[in-house]
Structure 1
Amino acid sequence: MTLLGIVLLLSGLALVVAEAHVPSGLLGVAGTVLLVAAVAVLATAVGAEALVAVPVGAALVLAAGAWGLLAARSASGALRTRVRSGPEALSGRVGVVRAWDEPGGQVYLDGDLWRARHSWGPGEEADLHAGDAVVVERVAGLTLCVRRADEWELIA
């Protein structure tokens, strides 16, 4: 009986550790169930009654549930944050035109020189010139799609 409890305990711990590396929820639940079963089996193996095994198992379930809620809250908070790196973070940023020959040019943004083109069709707006402030509308590969910055976007 003690061997069964130890096997259940080790299996439960292995599943909980696996859940930390492959978050799916299912492994964590299965690991918690095995841990509760291990506590119940080990408690009865040492001669304790159900009066002791049930509260210990309930405490273990509550602790595992609290840990799971804390981990889920941290994960959901990370999903709500704004992207701060890579091409997705460039949208909405203000850069300066360094050189412009229709239909595109070069824009200086965050210490780098980028290829850029209009985010509108040809002939819809006045040409851009060196020194003009532009706003990145989107990123297509390594090319920025930009538009002339409005006055309110330059105040910072």
Structure 2
Amino acid sequence: MTALGIALLLAGAALVIAEAHVPGGVLGVAGGIALIFGGIFVIAALGGGAALAIPVGIGIGAVAGGGALYVAHKGRVAGLTRVRSGAEGLCGQVGTVRRWAEPSGQVFVDGALWRARHDWPVPGEDALHEGDRVIVERVSGLTLCVRRADEWEVTA
């Protein structure tokens, strides 16, 4: 019974560690259950009795399950968090046109002056002028692809 308990403890620990790399919850729950039963079997085999084995097993499982849920939650939050640095972090930023000669020019975004181009001019819309507000749509190398910002996008 001791060998089975130790095997369950090791398997449970491995499943909880695997949960950290593949967040989803299933491996963490299975690891928590394996830790509970492994703890119960080891303590019962060593003469601890059910009065001691069950609360200790449940405590071990609760701590392991809580840790797995915490790691899964942090993984999900990290996946939903918007990138704030690098080229990807510029997308969606509001900038100001400094110089413009259709279809390209310079814009000031996030504290730096960037080359920019306006790929999709709207028919009937005026060309961009100095001082106009623009939104970064994407980054292509060191050039930003921008569009004119709507009023609701710059008044926040």
For normalisation by structure 2, the TM-score amounts to: 0.74
Unaligned runs of 5+ in 1: none
Q: Shift of residue 46 of structure 1?
A: 0.6
Residue type matched to 1:29 in 2?
A: V
Q: Tell me, yes or no, if the aligned pair for 1:15 and 1:30 is still in contact at 8 Å.
A: yes
Provide the rounded CA distance (Å) in 2 between the counterparts of 1:26 and 1:72: 10
Q: Shift of residue 148 of structure 1?
A: 6.1
Secondary structure of the 2:97 match is strand
User: Over aligned residue pairs, what C-alpha RMSD do you find?
Assistant: 3.0
Provide the rounded CA distance (Å) in 2 between the counterparts of 1:101 and 1:84: 30
Q: Tell me, yes or no, if the aligned pair for 1:137 and 1:147 is still in contact at 8 Å.
A: no
Which position in structure 2 is the counterpart of 1:59?
A: 59
Identity %: 38
Distance change (3 Å), C-alpha of 1:72 and 1:18: closer
Which position in structure 1 is the counterpart of 2:146?
A: 145
Which position in structure 2 is the counterpart of 1:26?
A: 26
Taking the TM superposition and a 5 Å limit, the aligned residue runs for 1:7-156 are 7-79=7-79, 81-85=81-85, 86-87=87-88, 89-98=90-99, 100-110=100-110, 111-117=112-118, 120-122=121-123, 124-129=124-129, 131-136=130-135, 138-139=137-138, 141=140, 142-147=143-148, 153=154
Over residues 46-71 of structure 1, what are the superposed CA-to-partner deviations in whole Å (9 max), with x where a residue is unaligned?
11221221111222232233334433
Unaligned runs of 5+ in 2: none
Give the number of equivalent residue pairs.
151
